[in-house]
């Protein structure tokens, strides 16, 4: 499945540069939900950290029935995997690929995030199709200072 930025067209989708907050607010092996807007049109995404402390961000919409994965806030990770609580599909943390359950072989929509050298996460730039393979980690200089930001993009597997 090719990566796309379709999530950016959803109501209340956060713009590039939207601050998500400090990464250390998310425990290793846990996740945090971020909501933008109110009610049924609210945009929901989550950031999950793997055992190596890396953050990965996804749209909170299961590819099975286009429902939110969680029932309670921040409830996304079970036994080292992302789990949809609607029908219990299981996804890999590092690329959002469904490895078991009702939507096996499909993937969550990845949301690129930037991580500043101070550990603050922001919504990243649109993804280049040329980079849509597994995980891309690049370093680039900040536009506003001489600090270095890591751009972390997570992309579903290409078929």
Q: Is 117 left (phi over 0), alpha (psi -120 to 50) or beta?
A: alpha
3-state SS assignment for residue 9? helix
In the bound state with ligand FES, the residue whose beta carbon lies nearer, of 89 and 127, is 89
Candidates 135, 132, 130; CA nearest to 150 is 135
Q: Which one-letter DSSP state was computed for residue 63?
A: T
In the bound state with ligand FES, the residue whose beta carbon lies nearer, of 89 and 93, is 89
Binding site residues, ligand FES, CB under 6 A: 62, 64-65, 67, 84, 86-87, 89, 101-103
SS (H, E, C) 120-140: EEEECCCCCHHHCCCEEEEEE
Distance CA 55, CA 34 (A): 14
In the bound state with ligand FES, the residue whose beta carbon lies nearer, of 49 and 83, is 83
In the bound state with ligand FES, the residue whose beta carbon lies nearer, of 56 and 91, is 91
User: Phi, psi at residue 40, to the nearest 5°?
Assistant: -70, -20
């Amino acid at each position: 499945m090719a990566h796309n930025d379709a999530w950016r067209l959803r109501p209340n989708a956060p713009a590039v540069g939207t601050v998500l907050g400090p990464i250390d607010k998310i425990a290793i092996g846990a996740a945090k939900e971020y909501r933008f807007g109110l009610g049924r049109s609210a945009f929901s995404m989550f950031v999950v950290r793997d055992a190596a402390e890396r953050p990965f961000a996804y749209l909170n919409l299961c590819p099975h029935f286009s429902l939110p994965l969680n029932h309670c806030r921040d409830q996304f990770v079970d036994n080292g995997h992302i789990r949809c609580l609607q029908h219990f599909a299981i996804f890999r943390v590092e690329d959002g690929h469904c490895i078991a359950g009702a939507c096996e072989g499909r993937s969550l929509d990845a949301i690129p995030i930037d991580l500043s050298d101070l550990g603050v996460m922001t919504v990243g730039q649109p993804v280049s199709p040329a980079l849509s393979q597994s995980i891309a980690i690049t370093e680039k200089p900040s536009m506003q200072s001489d600090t270095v930001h890591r751009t972390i993009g997570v992309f579903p597997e290409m078929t």
